[in-house]
Amino acid sequence: MPLIAYSQIDYGQVVAPEGQRPASFEDYLVQLAWLNSPDTKILDYEKTQEQKEVELQGKKWMEDVKFSFNINEVSLSNVLQPSPDNLVLYPLYQFSTSISLGTFTTNKKKKEIEEVDVQIKDMEANKHKLEIRAATLTRYRKLLLAIETLKLRSKAEEDARNTFQVSQKRFQNADLDMEDMLRASEAYINAQEKRLIAEADIQLAIIDLEEMIGVKWEVAKRAEERYNKKN
């Protein structure tokens, strides 16, 4: 049987903890996304709730403790009104407590269940970290791709415009037929359209990324400049 090799994930490093400077700009974006995600807060609240359930379950046995207090009224009356014929039986009162033996066993099991629920919340938080990191870096890469695509589209538009302008002059000088002139014009128009689409793709990618990180892209970019200077 083949052996399967695996390594334990250090979930504490999947997302840089609050207050710790991320190692790179990408890690900074992931940290922003984690800290500003409503789901992160929800998971934190749910874990706190489960921890309080564990604490309550640890004290649950107290609810099953029963106390009783009995007074021997006849003997007490005879003590208060002494007489040779009065019979006094001691003790004058009895105080007792009782608890079901099954209480400790049952509550222990219930507490163990609550502790498992806390562990589940921890794992849900770890899963959320992985999802946040993957989604944030994916959207950031799409933004970078859109920016590079715009550069290419802009260069293609510039080339198409130059070709169209040359074609216009040649057409005016009767050195180019109408069909070639129209092809140059169509290529220029297509290049313009692709450039406009590329610009829109950047704006859409920024919106998607801002949805993840919870701050404006312009604000995040200032941090990128600091990271670039450091490197």
pLDDT for the residue numbered 12: 81
Rg (CA), the chain: 38
Per-residue pLDDT of the chain (231 residues; tens, 9 = 90+): 455 555 577 888 899 988 899 999 999 999 999 999 999 888 888 888 888 877 776 665 455 555 554 555 544 455 455 555 555 445 545 555 555 555 556 667 777 777 788 888 888 999 999 999 999 999 999 999 999 999 999 999 999 999 999 999 998 888 889 999 999 999 999 999 999 999 999 999 999 999 999 999 999 998 888 888 766
Determine the Cα–Cα distance for residues 224 and 84; give it in Å rounded to an integer: 100
pLDDT for the residue numbered 231: 61
pLDDT for the residue numbered 50: 81
Spatial contact of 66 and 97, defined as CB atoms under 8 Å apart = yes
Amino acid in the structure at residue 90: Y
> What does pTM read for this prediction?
0.72
At the topology level of CATH, where does 26-59+101-230 sit?
Answer: Outer membrane efflux proteins (OEP) (1.20.1600)
Closest CA to 129 of 215, 214, 207, 44: 44
Helix, strand, or coil here: 101? helix
DSSP structure string for 13-75: HHSPPTTSPPSSHHHHHHHHHHHH-HHHHHHHHHHHHHHHHHHHHHTGGGGG-EEEEEE-HHH
Determine the Cα–Cα distance for residues 195 and 187; give it in Å rounded to an integer: 12
